[in-house]
């Protein structure tokens, strides 16, 4: 599944992103999730929950989906 994720700020951390897409239920689960599951940012494996995600980045989570980060426009607000 490919989806667009709209950012309403300059960036979002990977831990916050996982919570927003309801892969985890709390921020405290991010470290555990990243140790146990593969997550790729722009095709590279990533395990840092504090990794900043910016517009144009692609996040791939096997068995969950592929997400394209985009900046929210004024029309989207």
Domain carrying residue 34: 2-71
* pLDDT one-digit tens code per residue, 13-62: 999 999 999 999 998 899 999 999 999 999 999 999 999 999 999 999 99
What would the DSSP string read from start to end of 52-77?
Answer: EE-TT-EEEETTTEEEEEEEPPTTT-
Statement: residue 76 has pLDDT above 80: no
Q: What element of type H or E holds 17? A: helix 14-20
In a domain, 10, yes or no: yes
Cα separation, 54 vs 5, whole angstroms? 11
Q: Which residue has the higher pLDDT, 2 or 53?
A: 53
In a domain, 28, yes or no: yes
In a domain, 77, yes or no: no
Q: How many domains does the chain have?
A: 1
Name beta bridge partners: 4: 68
Statement: residue 77 has pLDDT above 60: no
In a domain, 76, yes or no: no
Name beta bridge partners: 68: 4, 58
Provide the CATH number for the domain around residue 8. Answer: 3.10.290.10
In a domain, 27, yes or no: yes
In a domain, 53, yes or no: yes
């Amino acid at each position: 599944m490919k989806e667009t994720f709209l950012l309403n700020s300059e960036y979002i951390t990977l831990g916050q992103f996982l919570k927003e897409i309801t892969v985890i239920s709390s921020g405290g689960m991010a470290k555990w999730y990243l140790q146990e599951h593969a997550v790729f940012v722009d095709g590279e494996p990533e395990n840092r929950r504090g990794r900043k995600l910016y517009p144009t980045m692609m996040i791939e989570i096997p068995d969950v989906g592929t997400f394209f980060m985009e900046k929210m426009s004024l029309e989207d607000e």
